[in-house]
Chains A and B, each alone.
Chain A
Amino acid sequence: DTGVSQDPRHKITKRGQNVTFRCDPISEHNRLYWYRQTLGQGPEFLTYFQNEAQLEKSRLLSDRFSAERPKGSFSTLEIQRTEQGDSAMYLCASSVRTGEKGYTFGSGTRLTVV
């Protein structure tokens, strides 16, 4: 069990550019979640996958955001035409069904839009 890996750890981008983050969940976990966290706040839910199917999306996930989980393994989160308000920590988590042991979170990708 190598945990949940996220790449990159830090990303600085200019406003208007596109960015893509990757999450590698724990291999036997069929559920994968993306969260966003801004300074001083708790993480906010963005979207949820069960295997390769994206089953729920938050209203926070605007048209500029898209997430995929091809083949039900790793996942990517893309932000198009980044804005300064997108600056945040993007967290990925995975779990088995029923959340018996809770989620396992990655260390996150810190995005700074300048």
Chain B
Amino acid sequence: DAKTTQPPSMDCAEGRAANLPCNHSTISGNEYVYWYRQIHSQGPQYIIHGLKNNETNEMASLIITEDRKSSTLILPHATLRDTAVYYCIALAQGGSEKLVFGKGTKLTVNP
């Protein structure tokens, strides 16, 4: 699975959009981009995933560049409860589909 690179930390004001970047320049054509987040002392929580097209669900939007070498997770109106570590993972479906976590981005939403 492709390696991903994320900034170690970011800050965001409550109510504003949080844009979390991820680089995955070696991603293969069959690898999806998955995002998870982990709030302190809890297990990771699935947010969203995509292959080529931009995706949106009730939690977030995922923007993937046309060359698929990077993506951005957007939380449109960040709340204090969005403070967490966010993980970007490249994963090929099929096989074991085990997630390979990096250190992620610690997002702090400030009042």
User: A residues within 8 Å of B by Cβ?
Assistant: 4, 31, 33, 35, 40-45, 48, 55-56, 91, 93, 95, 98-99, 101-108
Residue in A41, A44, A45, A107 whose CB lies within 8 Å of B43 = A107
Hey, which chain B residues are within 8 Å of A102, CB to CB? 34, 36, 46-47, 49
* Residue among B44, B49, B96 making CB contact with A43, cutoff 8 Å: B44
**Are B42 and A45 in contact (CB-based, < 8 A)?**
no
Residue of A nearest to B43 (CB): A105
Q: Specify which chain B residues have a CB less than 8 angstroms from the CB of A107 in the assembled complex.
A: 41-43
CB neighbours of A41 from chain B (8 A)? 103
Q: CB distance A101 to B98 under 8 Å?
A: no
Please tell me if B78 contacts chain A, counting CB pairs below 8 Å: no
Chain B residues, Cβ within 8 Å of A104? 46
Closest approach, in angstroms, between the C-beta of B43 and any C-beta of chain A?
3
What's the nearest-Cβ distance from chain A to residue B81, in Å? 16
Residue of A nearest to B98 (CB): A45
Minimum CB–CB distance from A65 to chain B (whole Å) comes to: 16
Alpha-carbon gap, A31 to B94, bound state (A): 12
Interface string of B93-106 (1 = CB under 8 A from A): 11011111111100
Taking a contact as CB atoms under 8 Å apart, the answer to whether B94 and A42 are in contact is no
Q: Quick check: B96 and A56 within 8 Å, CB to CB?
A: yes
Complex-state Cα separation, A35 to B87, whole angstroms: 15
Q: How far is the CA of A13 from the CA of B41 in the complex (A)?
A: 20
Given known contacts A98-B93, A99-B91, A102-B34, is B99 in contact with A45 (CB within 8 Å)? Answer: yes
Which one of A4, A31, A42, A95 contacts B101 once the chains associate, using CB atoms below 8 Å? A42
B97: A residues at CB distance < 8 A? 31, 95, 98-99
Q: Could you tell me the distance in whole angstroms from the C-beta of A26 to the nearest C-beta in chain B? A: 12
Question: Does B45 make an interface contact (CB < 8 A)?
Answer: yes
Residues of A within 8 A of B45 (CB): 105
Taken together as a complex, chains A and B put the C-alpha atoms of A42 and B34 apart, in Å, by 15
Residues of chain B contacted by A40 (CB below 8 angstroms):
103
- Residues on B with beta carbons closer than 8 Å to the beta carbon of A55: 96
A contact residues around B36 at 8 Å (CB): 102
Given contacts A99-B91, A99-B93, are A91 and B104 in contact (CB under 8 A)?
no
